[in-house]
Structure 1
Amino acid sequence: MKPTSLILKNANLLDTRAGNIVGKRNIRIEDGIISEISAGSTKPADETLDVDGKVVMPGLCDAHVHVVAATASFPDLITWSPSYVAARSGQILSGMLMRGFTTVRDCGGADYGLAKSVEEGYLIGPRLLFCGHAISQTGGHGDMRGPGENWEECTCCAGLGRVVDGVPEVRRGCRDELRKGAHFIKIMASGGVSSPTDRIGNTQFSMDEIRAAVEEAEAAETYVAAHVYTARAANRALECGVRSLEHGNLIDDSTIDLLLEKEAFLVPTMSTHEALRREGLKNGLSEDMYKKVHEVVEAGHRTHSRASDRGVKMVFGTDLLGAMHEHQLTEFEIRSAFQSPAELIRSATVTAAELFQMEGQIGEIIEGAFADLIVLDGNPLTDIGVLQAPDRYLKAVIKQGEIFKSAL
């Protein structure tokens, strides 16, 4: 049961914005919110947890997950019973929380029911932000029909996506996902790895269709995230007002220029491409889909390093599928080739909060923020590996004031 008030005593605070350790503080939590941070004593609470000088930092954020994707085969996924999908999703969500993730953004498949189940405690997992079904054109990355399959594509329940064509259908699709509680809109603006009939280099949706999605999102005071790989697709999306680019392995300097000009975000998902290259076939990826993985892996290392060097706002995201969810923390290891530990931590905390439109609520330890905290027996600013081995270093996970793990 979540205590009404909780004190974390002798917490060695990690400042995610400054990228340093500020020293020992006492953190008072009331009704799931950080109410006081003090170097001295605080008034008594229902419960006190002495962390004995261990590092305390905000819970991690993953900006690109698919919690319903318990298989890498999306065509298979659409044949599963919804109750079976929910059960498998619960297992995926609890695993994320036990790795230290307290907020995740689902980019296709999760819905109001899953988010509400987590919020009310019927499922254990991170806070779940969702887009509902990703918006795809016919033959796009969200259309799971093979070239020989001619069944009518369901417009509202085809796995992770819904198929729409033309500006009126795009508007209707976006409005319907927002009606069902979506926190943002996701569009498929290029070809992808796990779809059967498109090529990586495809552009998808007309400019008018993309603008329609952006207009509908902005009318609802939210934003659009776009699945893209190439510079051509990415630039079209940015010109139309898309807020975040997902993947982006094949972008170039023209895209980076636009990302900076528009103050948009890049969400590389390098861990999924590495995992798919190693384990995709045994986790349900078809041979044709597997061949597409190799087009994007090596390119991603070059383009994302370049984007980081030029100051693009990069956010932590993984996009893992099936049994490959266990590799969620390897994103830190892969990106450490071109980002410092402080930059990596910001990508999974304050920069993610900015993208999510949740600044001041998550991503940093400040008064008034949600009490989403993890306790580490080590300093990830000097060794990012501390975040990659939760069984060894992660001693406590607290989400909105509730202790979900404690090994202190």
Structure 2
Amino acid sequence: MRPGQGQKLFRNLRLLDPEQDGLSEGIEILVEGTRIREVSDRPVAASGADVIDCGGRTLMPGLIDSHVHVVLNEVFLPRLETQPLTLMTAHAMAEMKAMLGRGFTTVRDTGGADWGLRQGVEDGLIEGPRLFVAGRAIGPTGGHSDGRRRTDSAIRCACCDALAFTLCLADGADEVRKAVREEMRQGCDHIKIMMSGGVASPYDPLDSLQFSMGEVRAAVAEAEAFGRYVCAHAYSPEAILRAAEGGVRCIEHGNLINEEAAAAMAAKGMFMVANLVAYFTMKDRAAEFGMDAGMLEKNDVVIEGGLRSLEICKAAGVPVAFGSDLLGQLRGAQSREFTIRREVLPAIDIIRSATTIGARLLKKEGELGCIAPGALADMILVDGDPLADISLLAGQGEHIPLILQNGHLVRNRLQ
């Protein structure tokens, strides 16, 4: 991630501050190096700065996608068994560049990406979003992290292929503890565990309960000992309640949540990351890429509860971050999540999910997801008002002529 140099002064803009309900006029913003130095409703004096005339467009924080898989480049995950780690990495680099081009300056990977990809971005070797990584997603034998065929008896080494690289099996509290410690040793930002069945895994029912309370508590204790936290793949109310009792900080998916589970999450100060676009897009296209009828049947179940889960969480006061969770050839639909959520939520709530709430989840309040003095200079410029038309954030960045990441102009189509 290349750092910005010198000063940049942004003028003639409308500011979309997610902390406010509307746009602000007459604002000037001074960026110095990698950070925002000044946000003022008066002219800013900066004689040596490069002046950027925004042409009355909307300037807002860079977007945060809190649930991606940059290395999972196949919809039907078993195909990753035939892929070497080198090709996996090449695919990841291409997708990360595309994500940045859609305005996502930060993403949280929830299974697969490691510290090497994160460092590649930080060193400027890879053009892509700032990465927060979970490393290998940890689950029990036969669960959502078990990618083996029924004819496989052994567990392959993580260096064997792309599928083995992204998943980890652990059974019993001691194995879970060791697996979490290994991911911490590898420099992960958070730990991902599996607590219910999943759509993309072939053998586990959606309502299956994965990881016992002892295993969950072991994972949480080890993550917290390193100053990190645990997020849990969970759909059903039973799995969500178990996660809340065990000290998990964030639920991934949560489509089948009910009022009781949402109340438990709110009482514990938990987050949820919804990713409805994954299910709608899989229903439309996943069969052509190898997803079988059993997986698609599970997908239909979680679609039914998806939009209602947003309403339940809002009523309970559970903060819901923006996520996409798309696999392989479907990842280009990432920004469709904005328009899907608009069916039940106002635009400002959706934008907050992809800015301020994402920053809180990452424990980066005041640094990411905001435009304020001292914050990292991650900003995007939008043609029009996303509060009036959220679809301006959809697509492949067609309505985003300028992207600033870490103070560096990644894109500038104004001239």
For residue 105 of structure 1, what is the amino acid of its counterpart? Answer: R
Aligned to 2:301: 295
Compute the displacement of 1:195 (Å): 1.1
Aligned to 2:210: 204
Aligned to 2:259: 253
Aligned to 1:184: 190
Q: Could you tell me whether the CA contact under 8 Å between 2:259 and 2:316 is conserved in 1? A: no
Aligned to 2:21: 19
- In 2, distance between residues paired with 1:150 and 1:391? 45
Alignment pair present for 1:214 and 2:220: yes
Q: Could you tell me whether the CA contact under 8 Å between 2:332 and 2:396 is conserved in 1? A: no
For residue 402 of structure 2, what is the amino acid of its counterpart? Answer: A
Q: Structure 1: which 5+ residue stretches go unaligned?
A: none
- In 2, distance between residues paired with 1:50 and 1:226? 44
For residue 57 of structure 2, what is the amino acid of its counterpart? Answer: K
| Aligned counterpart for 2:335 among listed residues 329, 336, 342 | 329
Aligned to 2:140: 137
Q: Could you tell me whether the CA contact under 8 Å between 1:244 and 1:265 is conserved in 2? A: yes
Q: CA RMSD in A?
A: 1.5
Q: Could you tell me whether the CA contact under 8 Å between 1:26 and 1:42 is conserved in 2? A: no
Aligned to 1:241: 247
Compute the displacement of 1:260 (Å): 1.1
| Aligned counterpart for 2:201 among listed residues 195, 201, 216 | 195
- In 2, distance between residues paired with 1:385 and 1:18? 20
Alignment pair present for 1:42 and 2:48: no
Q: Aligned with 1:315: secondary structure?
A: strand
For residue 81 of structure 2, what is the amino acid of its counterpart? Answer: I
| Aligned counterpart for 1:278 among listed residues 274, 284, 302 | 284
| Aligned counterpart for 1:63 among listed residues 62, 66, 69 | 66
Q: Could you tell me whether the CA contact under 8 Å between 2:197 and 2:207 is conserved in 1? A: yes
Q: Could you tell me whether the CA contact under 8 Å between 1:78 and 1:159 is conserved in 2? A: no
- In 1, distance between residues paired with 2:124 and 2:342? 35
Alpha-carbon distance change, 312 to 191 in structure 1, aligned in 2, over 3 angstroms:
same
Aligned to 1:398: 404
| Aligned counterpart for 2:370 among listed residues 364, 368, 374 | 364
Alignment pair present for 1:263 and 2:265: no
Instruction: Report the TM-score, using the length of structure 2 for normalisation.
Output: 0.95
Map of 1:106-125 to 2, 5 A cutoff?
A: 106-125=109-128
Sequence identity percentage: 39
For residue 147 of structure 2, what is the amino acid of its counterpart? Answer: M
Q: 1:375-404: per-residue Cα shift (whole Å, max 9, x none)?
A: 011111111112114554211011010111
- In 1, distance between residues paired with 2:295 and 2:242? 25
Alpha-carbon distance change, 331 to 369 in structure 1, aligned in 2, over 3 angstroms:
same
Instruction: Report the TM-score, using the length of structure 1 for normalisation.
Output: 0.97
Map of 1:313-392 to 2, 5 A cutoff?
A: 313-392=319-398
Q: Aligned with 1:275: secondary structure?
A: helix
Alpha-carbon distance change, 96 to 391 in structure 1, aligned in 2, over 3 angstroms:
closer
Q: Could you tell me whether the CA contact under 8 Å between 2:402 and 2:411 is conserved in 1? A: yes
- In 1, distance between residues paired with 2:361 and 2:91? 28
Alignment pair present for 1:52 and 2:58: no
Alpha-carbon distance change, 48 to 134 in structure 1, aligned in 2, over 3 angstroms:
same
Compute the displacement of 1:45 (Å): 3.6
- In 1, distance between residues paired with 2:384 and 2:46? 29
